[in-house]
Amino acid sequence: MRTLTSLLGHEVETESGRRIGRCHDLRGEIRGSRLVVTGLVVGIRGVAEHFGLGGRGSKPTHVPWDAVVKIDGERFVVRDGTELE
């Protein structure tokens, strides 16, 4: 079992080692009676969003869950070529 608090704060890097930022939150979607994770909230604007200050402008803050290749210790590794959306 994973817990939310054990996933928050991890670094997010691509497979070739490029750092994208830190994961401040997990974005989810309620589908019927299920709550499915759709992405990682990352970066400076991600911090703002984590404190509830987002919503303005459309700067990218999030990495889709599909791009995550593995969770390696305290690190999310995402596919090469992944950018914030």
Partner 1 sequence: MNKIFSLALGILAAIGGFVDIGDLVFNVSAGATFGYQLLWVVVIGVVGIITYSEMCGRVAAVSGKAVFDVVRERMGFRVGLFALISAQVVNLMTLTAEVGGVAICLQLLVGLPYRWLIVIAGIALAIVVWVTSFDWIERIFGYGGLCLLVFAVAAFKLHPVWGAVGHGFVPHLDTKSPLLYAYFTVGLLGAAMTPYEVYFYSSGVVEEQWGPKDLGLNKANAIIGYALGGFLSFALMIVGGSLFLDKGLEPGFLGSIALGTEVPLGQIGLLLGIVGILFAVGGAAIDTLFSGAYNMAQFLGWEWGRYRHPSGAPRFTLTWIVLLVLALGAVLTGVDPVQLTEYAVIFSAVALPLTYIPILLVANDRTYMREYRNGRVANTVGLIYVAVIMVIAVSAIPLMILTNVGQN
Partner 2 sequence: MTDTLDLGLNVLDHQLLDRDERRCGKVDDLALEGGPGEELVVTAILSGPDVWRRRSRFLGRLAAWIGRGGRHRVPWEEVEMVGPHVQLKRAAKELGLGAGDDRLRPFFERIPGSDR
**Positions in the binding site for partner 1 (CB under 8 A):** 51-53, 55
Pair of tokens at residue 72: 């390696």
Element (H, E) at 27: strand 19-31
**In the block, residue with structure tokens 């990218």:** 60
> Residue 41: how many CA atoms within 13 Å on its side-chain side?
18
Q: What are phi and psi of 44, to 5 degrees?
A: -60, -45
* CB 54, min distance to partner 1, A: 8
* Of residues 37 and 53, the one with the C-beta less far from partner 1: 53
Binding interface with partner 2 (CB under 8 A): 1-8, 24-31, 33-38, 41, 49-52, 65, 68-71, 77
Distance between CA 26 and CA 64 in Å, rounded? 10
For the bound state, the minimum distance from the C-beta of residue 24 to partner 2, rounded and expressed in Å, comes to 7
64 binds, among partner 2, partner 1, none (CB under 5 to 8 A by kind): none
Could you tell which of partner 2, partner 1, none binds residue 49, using a CB distance below 5 to 8 A set by kind?
A: partner 2
